[in-house]
Amino acid sequence: MSSLPPANGGGDGSQPRDAVDAALEPFRRRPENRELTTDQGIPIAQTDDSLKGGPRGPTLLEDFHLREKIMRFDHERIPERVVHARGSGAHGFFRVYESLEEYTSADFLCDPSARTPVFVRFSTVVGSRGSADTARDVRGFATKFYTQRGNFDLVGNNMPVFFIQDGMKFPDLVHAVKPEPHHEMPQAASAHDTFWDFVSLVPETMHMVLWVMSDRGLPRSYRMMEGFGVHTFRLVNAAGEAVLCKFHWKPLLGAHSLVWDEAQELAGRDPDFHRRDLWDSIERGDFPEYELGLQIVAEKDQLAYGFDLLDPTKLLPEELVPVRRVGKLTLDRNPDNFFAETEQVAFCVGNVVPGIDFTDDPLLQARLFSYLDTQITRLGGPNFAEFPINRPVAPVHNHQQDGFGHRAIHTARALYHPNSIEGNRPSLAAPHPAGFTHRPEILVGQKTRERSESFGDHFTQARLFLRSQSAPERRHLRDACRFELAKVERLAIRERVVGLLRQVDDEFAREVAVAIGVTVEPPDAEAPRTRAPDLAKGRALAAAPSLSLSNSPLDSIRTRKIAALVTAGVRSDELDLVTTALCGAGAHVEVIGEALGLVRSAEGQPVEIDHTFATAASVFYDAIYVPGGAASVERLVALAPALRFVREAFAHAKAIGATSEGVLLLRAAGLAVAVPEGSRLTDERGVVVAGEGQAQAFVNQWIEAIKKHRHFDREGDSPTR
């Protein structure tokens, strides 16, 4: 129902609608063909690159256009975060395995006996606080280390690259991917015109687009998700010697994903799926663990790997520089209060400690300004560092005073430096390595607003990523592009995206184009390819196995959730044996039935139902098991939710197991499995069934099937195939 008054006015004395429109007209901004300006009306000739001291130099503070554009963007939402609004946090600790003093003076990386407290916030990027956890999206992986020399914030994502090369473009990117401004749709989704319009006009996005469209955009859980610092940082040792460094988080459970249909159903059945998984895992003692990995490169080699290490749209393949695992992060405590901790935690990329320093990555340089500016708006002023969740464990002594939310009661009479009244206290720290000292660099170059030529190749690494995917992963990526682009209404946008995909891989582009109404001309052998050929010599990789989730560790079922489907008359001997074995391997079994309470097994034993078919679904579990028992299975065969449980688990390529009569439920659901005769055991693409006397052999075989996470060789098959 419209909130505007009727066209001819209303009996309540409201103005006519045309009068209201006339009053609003001076405030409307229409897309007219006029010059781009700042808020002060200053014409702007370039809005793609920040002002730097040379093409690869640091961003300059005098760039008023960058500061205004980022400042306005940072203040668009109050109090919800503009991006990364929906998050989930946990406390924990970090320990380094051995001293890294060869590379850095950062205390928490040099003392293996130190137990450094941390707070980690995981998040989606695009959606609002009320959106679903399982949307296809980038995930934030932000870690606050409370070190003895101050707080270090490693503010990263679950993908090692980003969409853009210069922070000047960040407001444009987010405006494009957020819900469209005229109707605020779609929520938490990139499948719409404005996002793909931006992508089609900004070729540097192509590498990151493929990452988001891949299975990486649908993590199974925060516990099974990699993290990356994205940018290239510096490590500086006590002697002032520096190396370049990229940060990685490697989950000890391996990195695994959801499938698209599963993610969509989870968004409806439990929008808090990832939040709940993280919380429940910590509550039951399955503490998420990640190893911190470093890729260390000599400063002289920043252009030696076929790309520019300052380019945030590029990754450093592990096949060229292996990731050295140097320590472990353990999350072992849930927050006491979501608002006070998870919502009020303030991460700032500029929070570094002695021994860690920045590079001139132009996206990183803009983030140094943006994050601090954002917190001032979100948290009501400059004193957000005094909130309990943000306070460092290191003592704080400075001359800051007053402002909203200031908690300190200053007794000093001189809050400035230098001073004689208080004996010049607090005194300055000794120079590096005790006090933070920026790494000295020689800067050569004119002030310029341009992109370095070394950032010019937008397709080589996108091609490497695509060609490194397994066949199922490539199929998922193709289908994701088809889905997203089929939602784009404007043909010209779809055509431009396909044109960019052709520069990545012509065959892949054609596979996408055929499903979205785009005609692809024969390949042009002379088609221009944006690249920086001088950087690519001698470092080309045909594929990088580290980029495929198929090569993630598949050697454990720790923390996996298995559903056992039962009703009265279930064989409790089979259920107990399988449950004991699975739990002994670190998994968790939940019993699903018709109603909560107890049912009697075939042996007369009580069996407790954990969840009902009304509240549980196969998408909540990693595998399902159907124990025998003639009466139990006969009833399950008559229950539509039980049949759906099996069919969905099969469609989502999960391990399915059944013993003795349990196989009859699989057959009733349409799975083409034979009824075991006698003591036969079969394993057909992750569907493991066993007859009488094979329970122990079944458990061993089925655990191996669950370890594989998914059985994509049956993906796309109907259950009866």
Q: What are the residue numbers of the active site?
A: 84, 157
Run of H or E including 260? helix 260-269
DSSP 71: H
- Do 491 and 519 contact (CB within 8 A), yes or no? no
Select from 392, 427, 386 the least CA-distant residue to 406.
386
- Do 630 and 665 contact (CB within 8 A), yes or no? no
Integer Cα distance of 82 and 80 in angstroms: 6
- Do 569 and 635 contact (CB within 8 A), yes or no? yes
- Phi and psi, residue 18, nearest 5°: -65, -30
Bridge partners for 432 per DSSP: none
DSSP 630: H
Q: Residue 581, by phi and psi: left (phi above 0), alpha (psi -120 to 50) or beta?
A: alpha
Q: Which two tokens stand for residue 573?
A: 């001997």
- Do 676 and 682 contact (CB within 8 A), yes or no? yes
Number of helices and strands (H, E) in the chain? 17, 21
- What single string gives the DSSP state of each residue in 677-698? PTT-EEEETTEEEE-TT-HHHH
- Do 384 and 422 contact (CB within 8 A), yes or no? no
Kindly give the residue spans of alpha helices, DSSP state H, lying in 442-561.
Answer: 460-467, 471-486, 491-504, 506-513
- Helix, strand, or coil (residue 497): helix
> Do β-strands 289-297 and 588-593 pair in parallel, antiparallel, or remain unpaired?
unpaired
Q: Give Cα separations from 273 to 135, 266, 580 (angstroms).
A: 11, 7, 26
- Cβ-based neighbours of 500, under 8 Å, separated by 6 or more: 199, 200, 203, 206
Run of H or E including 365? helix 362-378
**What one-letter code names the amino acid at 328?**
K
Is the peptide bond between 426 and the residue preceding it cis, with omega within 30 degrees of 0? yes
- Do 164 and 204 contact (CB within 8 A), yes or no? yes
Integer Cα distance of 141 and 121 in angstroms: 6
- Cβ-based neighbours of 34, under 8 Å, separated by 6 or more: none
**What one-letter code names the amino acid at 264?**
Q
- Do 449 and 153 contact (CB within 8 A), yes or no? no
- Cβ-based neighbours of 708, under 8 Å, separated by 6 or more: 554, 655, 686
- Do 506 and 523 contact (CB within 8 A), yes or no? yes
